[in-house]
Structure 1
């Protein structure tokens, strides 16, 4: 059953909850929109664990979801431990978070790429063929709903579970102050986040609140 909190207009949360409830082996789910390497919004997530794993991929710039969006192909990972050469940063950090397996379904129509539906597992093992087929249907439904959302009036737009607007702002501040490109500024934020074992969103908020010296990020 979908909880009352997920009912009504909050279909993204309902979809994530359904993934956990009906897909065998799935412990958490997240729905994410992508633009480019810096532009990302988390539409919804089933729990905080999924949020932390999405932030981990965003901070590191690698992982199954990043690859699924980039290539447009379904990415099935039955054992994260075996993928440390494929995603050296993400695999190790994700294992520490308790992730054992993951599936990332691209959300796209033709050449239009929107994001990914990501399914997380605490135990290793690739999803069954039936579960993959069911998840693919849910991903298609999410894609259509997101496309409709793009056409909706401003007041009817979805509210993001986690917004990375502060990352965009901090990237702009860093680029202006240190006279570098936005891409280089974003790389500095990511590198600092990785070194501090924190999310790039947390580091960005520290930059905006002046809790981190910009000179420190210039090194």
Structure 2
């Protein structure tokens, strides 16, 4: 797996190691799309790399819903394998509703640096069905490489999330964090409550969370839209 990633990176076709890992996962494991996201125990998330636009759209829908296989994989620290998303939709009703008819199967692998959780590698497929044992083994190995791509050694024995990795993604969620802070200040509520209101508005209006956040930042959507 490492040789495949290194060979592809040498071709200089893609920007950044994380993006190369996403492409190799899609090709080697036989899925339609992949994404790598850095997560935290709060609502913070950073989309680091995607194999294509569809993967980015699906990851944003999961972020909007606030639930899904990737969220569970990060929190549990174990892979969440969903060969039939429609049949497992009761586990994540919001995510299942937003992705209805778009996704057949999802396979989410936690990314860790030692005992510390970093984020997730997610594999999406339009058709239903499980991964083979060989595909699972390849995906697990590539998840380890994805974690390596996210971490940089500071030189003092401390591993941190590599800031350059974020350049791989076509967009990220910094605007959501800024909009959340604005709402918290304008409504005089805590940040967590502000984020929940932002997410609830996005879900109820069938809009991506990032789109709603940018509307708030652009003053196209005022704080009154988020009052009780």
TM-score by length of 2: 0.88
**Of 119, 122, 131, which aligns to 2:123?**
119
**Of 164, 168, 172, which aligns to 1:157?**
164
Aligned partners of 1:140, 1:170: CA distance in 2, in Å?
Answer: 33
Shift, 1:6, TM fit: 3.6
Cα 1:126/1:150, change in 2 over 3 Å: farther
What's the Cα RMSD here? Answer: 2.2
Shift, 1:66, TM fit: 0.5
Answering whether residue 211 of structure 2 is matched by residue 202 of structure 1, we say: yes
2:50 match: 45
User: 5+ unaligned residues in a row in structure 2: which ranges?
Assistant: 1-6
1:58 match: 63
Cα 1:82/1:156, change in 2 over 3 Å: closer
> In structure 2, the residue corresponding to 1:134 is in which secondary structure?
helix
> In structure 1, the residue corresponding to 2:147 is in which secondary structure?
helix
Aligned partners of 1:81, 1:207: CA distance in 2, in Å?
Answer: 33
Answering whether residue 226 of structure 2 is matched by residue 214 of structure 1, we say: no
2:111 match: 107
> In structure 1, the residue corresponding to 2:90 is in which secondary structure?
coil
Deviations 1:51-75 (A, max 9, x none): 0110011111100000000111100
Answering whether residue 192 of structure 2 is matched by residue 186 of structure 1, we say: no
1:30 match: 35
Shift, 1:150, TM fit: 6.5
Aligned partners of 1:10, 1:178: CA distance in 2, in Å?
Answer: 40
User: 5+ unaligned residues in a row in structure 1: which ranges?
Assistant: none
Aligned partners of 2:76, 2:201: CA distance in 1, in Å?
Answer: 27
Is the 1:6–1:13 contact (alpha carbons within 8 Å) kept by the matching residues of 2? Answer: no
**Number of aligned residue pairs:** 216
1:171 match: 180
Deviates more, 1:184-193 or 1:15-24: 15-24
Aligned partners of 2:130, 2:64: CA distance in 1, in Å?
Answer: 25
Cα 1:204/1:150, change in 2 over 3 Å: farther
**Of 144, 157, 160, which aligns to 1:140?**
144
Is the 2:79–2:107 contact (alpha carbons within 8 Å) kept by the matching residues of 1? Answer: yes
Deviates more, 1:100-109 or 1:158-167: 158-167
TM-score by length of 1: 0.91
**Of 67, 72, 76, which aligns to 1:67?**
72
